[in-house]
Amino acid sequence: MDSVYSNKEMIDNFIEDYDDINGVNDSTTATTPDDDDDEEEEEEKEEKDEEEKDTDVDFIQRLGIELQKRIGILPKVEVITLILTNKPKKFIRILCVKPKSYSEISRTIRAARTMKLMIRACGHLSSYNSILYGTKHTVLIDCVNLSDSPRIEFVNIKCKTTGKEIQGLKLLSCVTMNELIHYQINHNIEINQYVDTYSIQDTIVGSILSTQPGIIGPTGSAYGGCLTDEVIAIRIVNCYGDLIEYSNEKEIMIAVSNLGLLGVVYDVTLRYTPITLTKVNYQFYKWSDLLNIENNILKDAITTNQSIEIIYLPYNSCHTLSSTNDNNDTLTDAVVDDGNDVDDNYMDGSIDLKNWNIEEDELLLRTTKRLSQDIHDNYITVDIRNNSHSNNNINDNDPSICYDSDPQQFVYLLDQVFGPSSKELIEQPDNTPKLLKRAHHYLKCKYCPKPTIIQYTPWALNSFGKFKEPLRILKFTMETDPELNRFTLAIHTILDILHKLANDDLPNYSVNLGLRIQFTRGTNNGHLLGVGLESDEPKLDRKNLLLAHITFMGLIGNGPNKLWNDAAKQINLTMLTKIPTCMPQWKTEWHVKQILLNKFREALKQTAEPLKQLITIADRDGMFLNQYLAFIFYSKLTFYQKLYESQRNDYLYNSEMASFIAKQLIGNQLDSVKGALGDKKDEGEGVLGGRKEIDPEVEAALREAEEKREAKHRKMEEEREVMRQGIRDKYGIKKKEEEVPADFDFSSPEGRLGRKRKTPAELAAEANEADDENILTSMLPENMRNMANKVTEVPGKIISEASEKCLLM
């Protein structure tokens, strides 16, 4: 295998594990109750043996070599390392292939099936996560390098029910969010939803499969604001390596958000519409004003705008204690509405967190609203560019609208020019309140003078500036009523958490990028989100159902972080236990693993039945189903899933035992050769003079394992014999008795390989027969005599040749 990494390479191959369902294993630092700590310790003890096996580099490499032999030359099999960011000093190694075509995907799946391995598909590196891939018998199929052509194309899909053709945009599974945005702009089209809220490098398919909610609000044309509402066809490579297409409306509803349980998605087709313009508005409010129901600020925004987003950086209302007067702590007003810069001299003092009233903090309310549909492509492509610097645009009746010279504008929480920089937040965690006050100040400086701009809709909906540094994410979705009463109570609970973290004995500022909140309607794929879709509720009534998608963000350095793990545990426990109808999203960090697993299992008990029925058809053996997903979706594994699991365990166990024994034998032989050559380095070691003995504990373990294996097979044979006897009794069949062979008579000529030595009498008789034959042949003509002699010689030749061959054998 050409591409097996060394230990150092695998350690250096750090993969940011903040995406999808990160962090199966809980953090070693605990702020939860004692019961939760005990539960975690028990889980760690139960999984200790399995974790030790996961770190067996040699075994993973041997699996990779065997898999490469069965696949062929391409694709190459690699060993990658996943570092668990929420558990110190914990990493796992698994196999990974990066196919470039459908045929390579198919070969990989078929080869892995012969070895009884599991398959999980992924996109970019940020999509790797431990709960889906954290086992040594898993093979990752990374589709990021797919080079089949074309990557994006316009197609017409014929609806099976109505017979009408629907225009769609077909995307390979390797297409990223950024690539799709540029394609929409260049071809004057748009897709009616947002893909991801924080990672522009994520693939489109990854967001679809994981039920990623969008940000399109109730007034948007997309039903739930997520990509799954726009899928009109999807093609998946199943467990046999065949390409299956789902284009029926009912099948698509079930198949789109399948978490990879149906196979490896090859491409997906999305519905699109002509491109439009969107007006984006920025307003700053205090939490106390926004949460006041009588003001109706948030309710009005939700009912009139296409998308609604709350962006909040904490600590911006805190006062600064003057550093020039140590005897009297003079409170300096930190509000920056006067337009003064917040420079380093201004921020020399410490922050007064004891008197911090978090509800006086300001937040940024960002809303988008599509302009009239009468605005055509000519206006978009010509007028907005030609009149971008003009204040007298005849097409614009709203004087508050300012056309930006560059329609694409990102919202950077940390100003790219004035800062603070990401590096400061990571390296100076104690100064986080000061740095966030400064970041909030420059947000106001940027958006207060120009509160409204116009952008292309794809740009307007995908405007969040990305971070190169590791961004840690906790994402939740909760149901709320149209009056937002439940949401108001939830926000008070969330603000209490942030206030408590900052005022603990050891202040915790790890949630240093605050909150982002979007609102949508109930989604069509709510059956896998566990919230937002009532199975017994008519579709029309769901118009009154609101979902709030809440995201906690932290900018943390590489690797595990104790403060973040503490904060994440507290947030998870509070959100899942104190806020009704709140569910974690699939693409989030999993810190209290067992609680999240139980939460999903209870929520999806009934709504996931259609998906399970489709899994039974597409993947009967559970080749794409790991133990965590199996726990969520199945209370009891099916017969075929159990069979495939037992075959996998037997194969891995036998492979590991065979390689271990071979290593021992080869090692002993090499040691004995070294001793024979006069190597005195190991003299005196062991009883055999330099030859290493097998550890008695290892030998006992091998012997015990072999006894268990023999007992298992003996028991299975007894059960089979009982079944056979039952069949004999039913049909009156007698059991075939095995014949015991008698003692072999070595004096008997039967079975001899060589010829028996002839007696003198037999030799004389043969001579007489030869004389008789000579007399007969002498009477024939000369030409006939030669022929007869040749014919008589043939049997003798054949017999002699056969005898020689038998003797050689």
Q: Tens digits of per-residue pLDDT, 261-280?
A: 899 999 999 989 898 888 99
pLDDT for residue 523 is more than 60: yes
pLDDT for residue 384 is more than 50: no
Average confidence score pLDDT of the chain? 74
* Residue range 763-770: mean pLDDT, rounded: 72
Which of the four pLDDT bands, split at 50, 70 and 90, describes residue 740?
low
For residue 676, what pLDDT is reported? 45
For residue 420, is the peptide bond before it cis, meaning its omega torsion is within 30 degrees of 0? yes
pLDDT for residue 54 is more than 80: no
Q: Tens digits of per-residue pLDDT, 459-487?
A: 888 888 877 777 888 999 898 888 899 99
pLDDT for residue 527 is more than 60: yes
* Residue range 523-536: mean pLDDT, rounded: 61
Counting residues of the chain whose pLDDT is more than 90, the rounded percentage is 21
For residue 103, what pLDDT is reported? 94
Q: Which of 19-33, 89-103, 234-248, 690-704 has the lowest mean pLDDT?
A: 19-33
What token pair was written down for 491? 């926000």
Backbone conformation region of residue 654, classed left if phi is above 0, alpha if psi is from -120 to 50, else beta: alpha
550 alpha-carbon distance from chain centroid: 22
Q: Which of 97-101, 263-267, 803-807 has the lowest mean pLDDT?
A: 803-807
Nearest to 314 by CA among 438, 222, 209: 438
Give the residue, 132 or 501, on which the prediction is more confident.
Answer: 501
Contact criterion met (CB below 8 Å) for 281 and 401: no
Whole-model pTM: value is: 0.70
CA 559 – CA 81 distance, rounded (Å): 13
For residue 378, what pLDDT is reported? 38
Give the residue, 592 or 38, on which the prediction is more confident.
Answer: 592
Q: Which of 204-218, 271-285, 652-666 has the lowest mean pLDDT?
A: 652-666
800 alpha-carbon distance from chain centroid: 70
For residue 744, what pLDDT is reported? 52
* Residue range 38-53: mean pLDDT, rounded: 49
Give the residue, 792 or 152, on which the prediction is more confident.
Answer: 152
For residue 393, what pLDDT is reported? 38
Counting residues of the chain whose pLDDT is more than 70, the rounded percentage is 63
Order of strands across the sheet that contains 231-237: 152-158, 165-172, 264-271, 231-237, 243-246
For residue 55, what pLDDT is reported? 46
For residue 225, what pLDDT is reported? 59
For residue 187, what pLDDT is reported? 92
Q: Which of 210-224, 302-316, 354-368, 619-633 has the lowest mean pLDDT?
A: 210-224
Which of the four pLDDT bands, split at 50, 70 and 90, describes residue 29?
very low
Give the residue, 750 or 368, on which the prediction is more confident.
Answer: 368
Could you state, in order of their start, the residue ranges of all structural domains in the chain? 7-145
CA distances from 181 to 197, 216, 323, 397, 521 (A): 14, 16, 49, 29, 23
Give the residue, 651 or 16, on which the prediction is more confident.
Answer: 651
Q: Which of 530-539, 591-600, 607-616, 653-662 has the lowest mean pLDDT?
A: 530-539
pLDDT for residue 339 is more than 70: no
Contact criterion met (CB below 8 Å) for 671 and 655: no
Which residues, including other chains, have CB under 8 Å from residue 65's CB and lie 6 or more apart? Answer: 1, 4, 77
For residue 387, what pLDDT is reported? 37
For residue 6, what pLDDT is reported? 38
* Residue range 566-573: mean pLDDT, rounded: 92
